[in-house]
Structure 1
Amino acid sequence: MRHLLVIAAAIFTVSAHAETPRDFLTRFEKEAGAAASAERGARFFTTKQGGEWSCASCHTDKPTQAGRHAKTDKAITPLAPAANAERFTDAAKVDKWFRRNCNDTLNRVCSAQEKADVMAWLLALR
């Protein structure tokens, strides 16, 4: 019985662990099989990607500041972790928003390299 409690406590501790933005950068670099580039991330974020929107269309070209959704005008809190400590701390949310926003902006899923590059740039912002 005591062993079961120890195992249950260990599982709870692991599942309760909030991830950090750097954890996501590491994950995306590993998935991409290459190092991230903050320069590429900035270019990707601010360039219109085959349509009428870029990431900056909603998040602004200064993601340390609040943005507004280009279509709904809904307020968006700052994306850069330096300005918003809640960003990039929950894997389910990170995966959901990358999937949704990449589909809206690119009409496809972002590659692991694109995600890594954007994360590297966002982490470099102060």
Structure 2
Amino acid sequence: MNHTPHLSRLAALALLVFAAAAAHAADTTPAEQLGRWSAQAGAPGSVSKGQAFFNQRHGGEWSCASCHGTPPTRQGEHASTAKPIAPLAPAFNAKAFTDAAKADKWFRRNCKDVLSRECSAAEKADVMAWLLSLKP
């Protein structure tokens, strides 16, 4: 019995699955994310509001800067677990905000930690506008 055709099909299928996963992992750009959140908010993101929001504690123990640093251009560290966090500013991390699902997931989690609620589209647009303004 010759298993070669079957193995070739499995290899091809595995390659397709891997390619689809890789394509999904980079399904957007930071600028497209800014555009999406600005459209949802009905206003463009504000660099100055984004910087203020990022550094503010919002009545809780943490701010975004507590883990991501200020400015978030170098590796950060989670405030309670000490796990390393890649730079958040896209100019310093080519993978930042290139996966829409991950961006939504982490905004949801981090906003709940910092604000005890989800961030609004306007808050996301403001933070993204500021992050995009950070250059080497």
> Fold match, TM over 0.5?
yes
Q: 1:30 aligns with which of 17, 33, 39?
A: 39
Matches within 5 A, 1:1-126: 16=24, 18-126=27-135
1:29-62 deviation per Cα after TM superposition (whole angstroms, max 9, x unaligned): 0000011100000000001111010000000011
Cα displacement (A) at 1:22: 0.2
1:7-31 deviation per Cα after TM superposition (whole angstroms, max 9, x unaligned): xxxxx7xx75621000000000000
TM-score by length of 1: 0.86
In 2: Cα distance, 1:61 partner to 1:78 partner: 10
TM-score by length of 2: 0.80
In 1: Cα distance, 2:74 partner to 2:58 partner: 22
List gaps (5 residues or longer) in structure 2: 1-19
What SS class does the counterpart of residue 117 from structure 2 fall into? coil
In 2: Cα distance, 1:105 partner to 1:99 partner: 10
1:46-103 deviation per Cα after TM superposition (whole angstroms, max 9, x unaligned): 0111101000000001111110000100000100000000000001100100000000
In 1: Cα distance, 2:27 partner to 2:93 partner: 15
List gaps (5 residues or longer) in structure 1: 1-11
Aligned residues with identical type, % of pairs: 59
Q: How many equivalent residue pairs? A: 113
Letter in 2 for 1:55: C
